[in-house]
Amino acid sequence: MASFLAGPFEISPAHAAANPLDNLILAKEVIKNPPSGSLNNFDVGNKLDFDINPIVLAPEGFLSKPLVAETKITVVKKTIKPLPKASFPTKPAVLRVKLAYNNHNHFAYGYCTYYVASRRTIPWFGNAGTWLTGARAAGFATGEAPQVGAIIVTSESRFGHVGLVEAVNNDGTITISEMNYSGFGRITSRTIPVSYSAIKGYIY
């Protein structure tokens, strides 16, 4: 390979260093003592002397390469997880239920208490909001866990509200049937979360 001129200096063809430590010693020396002039009398083993020329040359036979700190940039892709779907009470659906009338139904027709009392024997009296207390006084078990067939008591009106648990679903919801929730005397069904804040408890 022929040598060529780079400005006022001639650079010989590049070749491997006879001693790999020569380049390392040179690099360390230049970093410790940054030159303010050109290389006047270069010797790897001796001290460097510089003129006032701002250009620094590599020793003859070696290519000059700037010292560059390489930084690896890693692009991290964040996976955005979808927000969990909130569970809200579904719109009531009209049910066709044949009521089983019995002598213990002493509640007025058309109300939620009447519907529940037509399907279960209710020996106590009072508005729906008092049913948990009345059930305990009558010896019925009460609790906070839903069960199929249990009476659900809620605070959805100023007088309270009751219905029957028709299904306990695997997704953390329950399906209930009720009367007078979406219209007087209407029997409807809806699905609500077990954690629904209006639930006061269950009568078993």
**Nearest to residue 88, comparing CAs of 194, 6, 168, 176?**
194
In the prediction, which pLDDT does 101 show? 57
Distance of CA 177 to the CA centre of its chain: 34
Question: What's the CA gap between 8 and 13, in Å, rounded?
Answer: 16
Question: What's the CA gap between 88 and 94, in Å, rounded?
Answer: 18
Q: What does pLDDT average to in each consecutive run of 10 residues of the chain (204 residues)?
A: 49 54 69 57 46 50 51 60 56 66 81 96 96 98 98 96 97 97 94 97 98
The amino acid that residue 163 corresponds to is G
In the prediction, which pLDDT does 104 show? 74
Mark residue 131 as left, alpha or beta (left: phi above 0; alpha: psi -120 to 50; beta: remaining): alpha
The amino acid that residue 173 corresponds to is T
Q: Is the pTM of this model over 0.75?
A: no
In the prediction, which pLDDT does 35 show? 56
The amino acid that residue 47 corresponds to is K
Give me the DSSP letters along the chain: ---EEETTEEEPPP---SSHHHHHHHHHHHHHS--SS-BSS--TTS---B-S-S--PPPTTS------------PPPPPPPPPPPP--PPPPEE--------TT--SPTTSHHHHHHHHS-----S-GGGHHHHHHHTT--EESS--TTPEEEE-SSTT-EEEEEEEE-TTSEEEEEEESSSSTT-EEEEEEETT-TTEEEEE-
Sketch out the chain's domains with CATH numbers. Answer: 10-76 (no CATH), 93-203 (3.90.1720.10)
